[in-house]
Amino acid sequence: HVQLVESGGGSVQAGGSLRLSCVASGDHRRSLCLGWFRQAPGKEREGVAAIYTGGGPEVFVDYYADSVKGRFTVSQDYVKNLLHLQMDNLKPEDTAMYYCAADRSLKCATVLRGTWSGRADFGYWGQGTQVTVS
DSSP for residue 30: G
What is the overall mean pLDDT for the chain? 94
pLDDT of residue 7 exceeding 80, the answer is: yes
What is the torsional sign of CA 63, 58, 98, 134?
A: negative
Structure confidence at residue 2 (pLDDT): 87
H or E element, residue 108: helix 108-113
pLDDT per position as a tens digit, 25-68: 887 677 899 999 999 999 999 999 999 999 899 999 999 999 99
Cα(48)–Cα(9) distance, integer angstroms: 15
